[in-house]
């Protein structure tokens, strides 16, 4: 199987079922270092399951998952070690409510990566400063807007420099007015070279940030390619219908 130097994540022929329901069917893709792939597709098409398979929250039934050349689907793998190399942020902000913003960000580096508390707090403050959240450092999450909370969740996911960042519908729970600040943080991460797999319904953002768009339909990557090509000249009936439904809903 082809594997060049900078293939960060390689998925070959992945299959995943839930109770005899095939949810991911023969999914193959290669995510290169610094590349951003965006998953689009109707609700239930398998986007979250694919991301959950990658960070080992779900076991795959068949196929191959390689992270930096290492077979991470192996039974023998230390799942915590692999997960510590993969940053993940979901739709619902799961910040710890009893910890301040800065401690939310600094916790895992100390507990998982063995950093000193001082180093972790300093790096967390550097990040907060860089992304305009410095004055929130010592507040508790419930005093922040949803957009600020989600930005903190992303900073928490990147502080220990994961090999890849997985973002699953991170703006879906936000008021429209707060979505932009989260998307612009993600765009900044792209500009800095972060390797990402993103599931989103925000088509304008997907268009802008994706090196490659992947359209999932019933667990199959029905079509993929450069956003301008995929959106302007969809080939499959399924993608045409999906884009029409977005258009009709005023979302495209």
Which residues contact Mg ion by CB under 5 A?
A: 47-48
Q: Does residue 18 interact with ligand ADP by CB under 6 A? A: yes
Nearer to Mg ion, 77 or 246 (CB): 246
Rounded to whole angstroms, the maximal C-alpha distance in the chain is 55
Under the criterion CB under 6 A, does residue 48 sit at the interface with ligand ADP? yes
Name which of 191 and 249 has its Cβ closer to ligand ADP.
Answer: 249
Query: Please, what is the Cα angle at 54 between 10 and 96, to 5 degrees?
Result: 145
Query: Binding segment for ligand ADP among 27-35, 43-51, 129-137, 242-250 (CB under 6 A)?
Result: 43-51
Residue with smaller CB distance to ligand ADP, 63 or 139: 63
Task: State the pairing for strand pair 196-199/36-40.
Answer: parallel
At closest approach, how far in Å is the CB of 33 from ligand ADP? 25
In whole angstroms, give the CA distance from residue 164 to residue 158: 9
Among 23, 164, 186, 231, binds ligand ADP (CB under 6 A): 23
Q: How are strands ordered across the β-sheet holding 220-225?
A: 86-89, 164-168, 196-199, 36-40, 212-217, 220-225
* Sheet strand arrangement including 62-67: 21-32, 7-18, 62-67, 70-71
Least distance between Mg ion and beta carbon 169 (Å): 6
Residues that bind ligand ADP (CB under 6 A): 18, 23, 41, 43-49
């Amino acid at each position: 199987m082809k594997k060049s130097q900078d293939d960060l994540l390689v998925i070959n022929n992945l299959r995943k079922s839930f109770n005899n329901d095939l949810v991911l069917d023969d999914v193959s893709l290669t995510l290169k270092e610094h590349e951003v792939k965006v998953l689009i597709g109707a609700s239930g098409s398998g986007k979250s399951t694919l991301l959950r398979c990658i960070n080992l929250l779900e076991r795959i039934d068949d196929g191959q998952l390689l992270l930096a050349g290492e077979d991470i689907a192996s039974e023998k793998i230390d799942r915590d070690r692999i997960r510590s190399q993969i940053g993940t942020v979901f739709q619902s902000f799961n910040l710890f409510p009893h910890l301040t913003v800065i401690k939310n960000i600094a916790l895992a580096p100390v507990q998982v990566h063995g950093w000193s508390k001082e180093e972790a707090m300093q790096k967390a403050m550097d990040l907060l400063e860089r992304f305009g959240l410095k004055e929130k450092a010592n507040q508790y999450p419930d005093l922040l807007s949803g957009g600020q909370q989600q930005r903190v969740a992303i900073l928490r996911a990147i502080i220990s420099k994961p090999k890849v960042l997985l973002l699953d519908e991170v703006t879906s729970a936000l008021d429209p007015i707060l979505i932009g600040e989260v998307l612009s943080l993600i765009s900044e991460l792209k500009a800095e070279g972060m390797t990402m797999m993103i599931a989103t319904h925000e088509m304008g953002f997907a268009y802008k940030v994706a090196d490659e768009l992947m359209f999932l339909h019933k667990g199959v990557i029905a079509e993929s390619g450069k956003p301008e090509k995929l959106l302007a000249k969809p080939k499959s009936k399924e993608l045409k219908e999906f884009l029409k439904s977005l258009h009709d809903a005023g979302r495209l």
